[in-house]
Chains A and B, each alone.
Chain A
Amino acid sequence: MGARWRVSAGLAVGGACAVSGQIILLRELLVAFHGNELSLGVILAGWLFWAAAGSWLIGARADRFRHPVSVLTLVLTLASLLLPATVLASVCLKKAIGASSVETLGFFEFVPAVLVLLAPLCLVLGSLFAIGARILDDLAPARNEVSRAYLLESAGAGAGGLVVSMVMLPLLEPLRLSFALGAVLLLVSFLLAGEVPARHLRAAARAFLVVLIVAFAVGAVSPRADALRRRIQWQGLDLLEAGNSLLGNLAAVDLHGEVSLYENGLLVATSGYRFHAEELVHLGMVQHPDPGSVLLIGGGLGGALHEILKYPVEHCDYVELDPQLIAMGRRHMPPQELAPLDDGRVAVHCVDGRYFVKNAPRKYDVVMLDLPGPRSAQLNRFYSLEFFEEVRRILRDDGVLVFEISSSEVYPAAEQRLLLASLRRTAGLAFPRVATLPGDMCYFVLSTGGASLTEAGAILERLSVAGIETQYVRETMLPFRLTPWRAAQLEQALQEKEQQARINRDFQPLGYLYDLAQWSAQFRGPLRRWVGKVIEARRWWAYVIPLVLFLVLAAVRYAGEGRAAGAGTRGIPSEGRRLAVGAAVGVTGISEIVFQVTVMVGFQVMYGHLFYRLGVMVAAFMAGLAVGSFWLWRRVEMSPARAWRGFLQVHVAILLYPLVLPLLFRCNLPSWLFMFLPAVSGILGGLEFPLAVRLWQRSGRGVGRAAGALYAIDSFGACVGAAIVGPFLIPLLGLVGICWWTALLNGCTLVLLLLPSRQPGRPARP
């Protein structure tokens, strides 16, 4: 095998391992943190930030390395060592900052911890592309090797990501999987070590790598390391089982005989603990005079089904997304807890709740949601106007929809009031009657028929008539919970926020931003005020940002051209134009995140959360990247002028795509076609990047430096995008608004690219 192939293998495997590591660590860290959009944004932004730094600090120096293959070998070996080390460290994160194993961390605890945790691994992985590109260019200088490097890394990332998330994660535990991935990296290092120039060093390196490969292979097959990881992760709790399903991290723990189930670190159910189940079910079921047909979305393992079956229902559909969760519950919870799952009246559907509601087989008297509130874009789909309208369509006359939102029975925080008020306004557009019941959980009763029961006496009377026995929802508790005083205060609190609260829609998911605000209020520190300011800010501020950025960059561009006056005349792009190219790459980094998140969120609200289809969408994006870079790679002889034109054309396409995207949202594309939309953004990214490197390279700098710097800029753009697009811009501007925003951003960049040179007589066109 030639050196070129070995390096290619290194790049492809490196790309695959980087994405796989990202998926593993994302899951582990989301277990440690609160699973909202901000945490997801922080983890991705942290990853991309260090990747950018690695590419800038190490990759951009690739041209100076005397033996770059040796450096690549070292980088791959380091990555293989750091991958399991980081996975193990991720579970020690809470302990390191003095928190308990099931404690939720605040923003200012989590962010530094994540940044420190990810730094070593991501710095190393970030440098990989630039070093690889430089070596490939050395080996075949006449060919378009940057495209090849980009193609290899993208293809590796796409294939690795799919295989790991779809096949390997459910089979292997995270640490074993990271050892397995590390072993593959070490094998490639071993192959590359053959290229190390000094013979004795080569032999030593290979011997060392063989030892490591054996050790990693043992780690990959031995369950001990993961047993240790689990012990640390669930410290203090008697862990019965932990593992990954396709959809996330699952665990069952025993606490003094009571079994609790966790999904992605969130407590789903505890055997024998029916407090919330009783409240939800009975406050909901009493609203209907004769509830015969019931739909329950989530919560079936926490006792809600038990409570529902106390009524003479004819049929109950129970929707739970993850079948593995039910299977784990069956393995560990006391059999009587899950007996309702086998009741003839209950039908279990392991499918996305939104998808089920869109395709419901019947109509219902009562629909109940037992979900954790609109924490993320995915969960927000169950609290939007469109969802409420969909539920209304599957309700019979006098049907009710009931759900709960975190509140306080003594004083709901201002942020909680905003969320509650927004949901009430939203629900009021879909249902003629919306009642709210005060308490630590505020219950919403949305009904199509008569007035809801909100007073303790009326609720208790109906329970008594129906002969329902309860432990919590009874005369010894309810009259003290649903006091007229509390009801009046809640009403005041909601009225206070009525004006400020906006409607929560599928395409403008404000619910999760409001939820983020109420989450931030739990911790001292400035985050609460920052999020508050974002919510209060006028939307046009977001559109000012691209314009300000453009003005600053235009000024810098002219200043740069002033210093390097005349550079353009010798056929070399001026400093100013190089800056514009760099800015375009950074903006593309942000745009790619916008396209990905927008299409994913759009798909989920239009067609439901279907895991395999989301996997196909990720694969479509990666395939697009590969196709784009492959197409360029074939055009070895592309002239510099053609590259410049091509770059501009690609950028025009990146500008036009977000203008077309909102139209695609409206024209009801078939779902299979929608799934391939990410390929478009992939192709654009795949085309743009190698062209940008080519345009930078002409300045006389080496491939490594150009590739390293641009990869860093691209990653940094994506980092900024990850931090602001999902958590803030999408809820604020909506899916259509974010598309306009991206178009504006790209429009500004295009103008920056096309700005005439400072000296009119000396065109800078290469």
Chain B
Amino acid sequence: MSLSRRRFLELACPLAGGAAAGWLLLRRFRGSGGAIASDPRSGGVPRLPRLEASKRAMMDGSVTEAMHYEELSGGRVRCKLCFRECIIGEGGRGFCENRENRQGKLYTLVFNRPCALQIDPIEKEPLYHFLPATTIFCVSTASCNYRCRFCQNWHLSYSGPEDVSAYDLTAADIVQYAKRNGCPTISHTYAEPTVHYEYLLAVAREARKEGLRFIYHTNLGIRPEPLEEILPLVSALSIDLKGFHQDYYGRMCNANLATVLENLKIVRRSGTHFELVNLVLPTQNDDPGQVEEMCTWIRDNLGADTPLHFSRFHPTHRFRELPATPIKTLERCCDIAQEAGLSFVSIGNVPGHRANSTYCPDCGKRLIHREHFAVLENRVKEGSCPDCGRKLPGVWS
């Protein structure tokens, strides 16, 4: 078949144009951290940019001015986001390394820059009194304001923003991903969300606008003002109460217990649903006296209906050589909490254990039959026990 010159040009030009456009797109994708291969609306897994591209994008100036800080003399600033209140000189960064002083102004380096995105069951959070058997769209950025020596997510929490390959996703993108993947809730979790507060707030606002629930898992080492600002946008909180002695908080987490306790009272006053998680490290924070003290404080200050999870520790991070928490230790903690008068005490990370399920504190009947992350039966009716009508704390619909 002979091909006329005109026909050849008609065919070749679009082909060449397409190839050039493809090449340019490919270059853009390779060269910048901003582009993602898959569209959030498609619901597919976003493509991670390369670490180098990720770093470059951050240094190029695509940063956002931080909230909650005050300018001091000599170009220094005081970050007023978390309990540390870092004073940061020009060019310096706070303890979390996510917030940088550039010419007397504080910038967040992780706005729109999540690096971990997952879809998990809500039971994994753990939130047992929040839309059981639904999924959450999980988001995390780099770094943390604690330095827990037993951190399961050290890959994130011990990394600075340069150490991770981050996506470039706006709050609207996150909401689209959650929707397309059938998640009714967005959760900021894994590493501490406080250190990407501006992004947290943006996603919370967007989620509310789009009719999704918003929760986050926190160590609550935040200052009262930003906490009170975000609470109205939050449907529930999963809060780590790592121990009940300042010695433990200081030595094991480089953190401050008093802040957490004061913030717990604020959360309680706000009426936001929250559940407490106590990771039991054998030989470290499993002293019965300490557990009793903690449970009594919870009962007196937060109410007996506060759900409390005793989670089994699995060897990890700097405690890779510490055995997993013995079941008996967890059962003892559970008994202490129940004796202290707490109504909803559970044991996590022990599949098949009786205390993995939720029971009615009044009639003792099993309300939610749970095994590990799966809900095998849910008998809760309109937030109450179907047998005795006992009202249950939480978000059920």
Show the binding face of A for B, using Cβ within 8 Å. 98-100, 102-106, 236-237, 253, 255-258, 260, 262, 265-267, 270, 272-273, 275, 408-414, 416, 440, 471-472, 474-477, 480, 483-486, 488-489, 492-493, 496, 521-524, 528
Contacts and interface: CB of A to CB of B under 8 A. Distances in A.
Given A103-B149, A104-B318, A413-B155, A480 B121 contact: yes
B372 A477 contact: yes
A411 B326 contact: no
B42 interface: no
Nearest to A105: B318
B163 A258 contact: no
Interface in B8-36: none
B351 A472 contact: yes
A524 B158 contact: yes
26 contacts: A100-B284, A103-B149, A103-B322, A236-B284, A253-B323, A255-B282, A255-B326, A256-B326, A258-B323, A262-B321, A267-B323, A275-B314, A408-B155, A409-B118, A410-B138, A410-B140, A413-B163, A477-B374, A485-B118, A485-B119, A485-B181, A488-B44, A488-B45, A489-B117, A496-B51, A521-B163
B147 interface: yes
A408 B153 contact: yes
Interface residues of B, number: 56
Contacts of B44: 488
B124 interface: yes
B341 interface: no
Chain A interface, >50% SS class: loop
Given A104-B318, A411-B155, A524-B147, 6 more contacts: A99-B318, A258-B323, A411-B116, A485-B181, A489-B48, A521-B155
A210 to B, nearest CB: 44
A410 B48 contact: no
Contacts of A410: 116, 118, 138, 140, 153, 155-156, 190
A411 B190 contact: yes
Given A471-B352, A496-B50, A102 B120 contact: no
A339 B165 CA distance: 47
B159 interface: yes
Nearest to A488: B45
A227 B352 CA distance: 40
B334 interface: no
B128 interface: no
B118 A492 contact: no
Contacts of A255: 282-283, 323, 326, 329
Given A489-B45, A496-B48, A413 B159 contact: yes
Contacts of A496: 48, 50-51, 165
Contacts of A411: 115-116, 140, 153, 155-156, 164, 190
A260 B48 contact: no
A102 B282 CA distance: 11
A258 B282 CA distance: 11
B392 to A, nearest CB: 23
Nearest to B54: A414
Given A103-B318, A477-B373, A522-B154, A492 B124 contact: no
A409 B116 CA distance: 10
Most buried by A among B147, B315, B321, B323: B323
A484 B45 CA distance: 9
A411 B316 CA distance: 15
Contacts of A522: 154, 158, 317-318
Contacts of A484: 45
Contacts of A523: 158
Interface string B295-333: 000000000000000000011111111111011110000
Contacts of A275: 314, 324
Contacts of A488: 44-45
Given A103-B319, A480-B124, A493-B48, A270 B155 contact: no
B390 interface: no
A236 B152 CA distance: 22
Given A236-B283, A412-B155, A475-B374, A273 B323 contact: yes
A236 B287 CA distance: 11
A416 B154 CA distance: 12
A272 B149 CA distance: 25
Given A100-B283, A489-B48, A266 B321 contact: yes
A533 to B, nearest CB: 14
A476 B373 contact: yes
A47 B331 CA distance: 47
B251 interface: yes
Interface string B266-286: 000000000000000011100
A256 B118 contact: no
A265 B48 contact: no
A472 B352 CA distance: 9
